[in-house]
Structure 1
Amino acid sequence: MPEPVMQSPLRSFGLASQAQPVDASRGVWANEDPLLGYISLRGDSADPTFVDRATAAISVPLPIAPCTFAVSGAVKALWVSPDEWMIVCRRDQLAALSSGLKSSLQGLRSQVADNSGGYTQVLLFGPNALDVLEHTSVYDFAGLAAGRVVGTTFGKASLYAHRTTDGFCLLMRRSFADYIWRYLARAAAPYGLGIAAIEATGRAAHGVAG
């Protein structure tokens, strides 16, 4: 039998073949950062032992303040709820991080689950990126501060969003990805949408944390 093949939920759009270096010719640039690792981590944020062990396992300070995230290298930790975090990493880091978390948190009330098949993220930037987001959501993205992550609507879907060094990162469920990309492309059309060539190394944690 053939080996399973990992595929992006946006593969039908042929984004990789359209990607080009970013320049001033478009008002909006976007592309998927595909096939990353996504780990759902649950535990007690009020337990300092849990927080310390999780931090040591992922080498990123586990954010315990609501709606915040932290980044170190190619690993990103997002606060999702008082007892849940999403750890985003390169795919080649996934096994080691998952194993390290499970080992470090043994004996503590916790859960570590690989959700890599269920999520993807899109990077959005350019001079009109904020204008596009204002067409797609009720959330005031202009007020989204560095180091903050928000769960909000996007058209009739939902996603998590935070600012990056040059724009925004939109983290979404795989089942919403096709709808969200089409909605984003339609909203960006008046400004000119370019498919950006995205560097593979380190982009899993593309962001500004504080």
Structure 2
Amino acid sequence: MAEPTMQSPLHAFDLAAQAQPADDVRGAWANEIPLLGYVSLRGNSADPAFVEKVSTAIGVPLPVDPCTFTVANGVKVLWISPDEWMVVCARSRLGELIAALKAGLQGIRSQVVDNSGGYTQVLLQGRNALDVLQHASVYNFAALQPGRVVGTTFGKSSVYAYRSGNGFCLLMRRSFADYIWRYLARAAAPYGLGIAAIEATGHAGDGVAG
């Protein structure tokens, strides 16, 4: 019997085989940052014990201000709603972080769920990255400040978006990834779309197109 194979939701596009270092010839560069770990965390941000235990378990301060994220030691925590966060990490660290959260939150009203199979991220960069996003969404991405995350429309679907280096990361559900990638490719076509070589940092979506 063949061993099970872990595949990203965009594996059919064979993006890795098309990747090349980004340059100024094309106006937009994008690629998937595949197979990260995603942990859905729920709890009461007004409970000091919850906030302290989470921050200690993952080594990153829990963001309690709306639409913000924190990052340290290769772990990123995105504020999703007043009682929900997404913890993003390298797949290799997933088990230890889930175990630490569950151990630290014993006796505290909370929920820790591995959603790694349900999400992926796309990194979009280039001089026309903002133009591409404005074709796809009603949100004014030019106003998105570093350290902030927003949930917004993308075509007929939705993403969570935040700035990453000189570009933007788009966090999406696996079931919408094919549609969102195709929509992004169409929106980028007038500017020229390149598949960017993503630096494998081993961190939570901090790959850099080079």
Q: Could you tell me the TM-score, scaled by structure 1's length?
A: 0.96
Aligned to 2:43: 43
How far apart, in 2, do the equivalents of 1:134 and 1:193 lie? 15
Q: Which runs of 5+ in 1 are unaligned?
A: none
RMSD: 1.1
Residues 158, 172 of structure 1: 8 Å contact kept:
yes
Q: Which runs of 5+ in 2 are unaligned?
A: none
Check if 1:22 corresponds to 2:22.
Answer: yes
Aligned to 1:162: 162
Aligned to 1:8: 8
Tell me the CA shift for residue 25 of structure 1: 1.5
Instruction: Show CA shifts across 1:24-80 (max 9, x none).
Output: 111101000000000000111001111011011111110000110011132100000
Instruction: Show CA shifts across 1:88-147 (max 9, x none).
Output: 000001000000000011110011000000000000011100000000000111111111
Superposition map of 1:110-189 within 5 A: 110-189=110-189
Counterpart AA for 1:19: A
Instruction: Tell me how many residue pairs correspond in the alignment.
Output: 207
Tell me the CA shift for residue 22 of structure 1: 1.3
- Give the match's secondary structure for 1:204: coil
Residues 42, 111 of structure 2: 8 Å contact kept:
yes
Aligned to 1:201: 201
Aligned to 1:108: 108
- Give the match's secondary structure for 2:184: helix
Residues 68, 148 of structure 1: 8 Å contact kept:
yes
How far apart, in 2, do the equivalents of 1:64 and 1:204 lie? 19
Residues 22, 29 of structure 2: 8 Å contact kept:
yes
Identity, in percent, stands at 72
How far apart, in 2, do the equivalents of 1:206 and 1:129 lie? 17
- Give the match's secondary structure for 2:204: helix
Instruction: Show CA shifts across 1:173-197 (max 9, x none).
Output: 0000000000000000111111011
Aligned to 2:66: 66
Counterpart AA for 2:141: F
Tell me the CA shift for residue 20 of structure 1: 0.5
How far apart, in 1, do the equivalents of 2:39 and 2:140 lie? 28
Tell me the CA shift for residue 203 of structure 1: 4.4
Residues 75, 203 of structure 2: 8 Å contact kept:
no
Q: Could you tell me the TM-score, scaled by structure 2's length?
A: 0.96
Specify whether residues 200 and 161 from structure 1 end up closer, same or farther in structure 2 by C-alpha distance, changes over 3 A only: same
How far apart, in 2, do the equivalents of 1:50 and 1:2 lie? 43
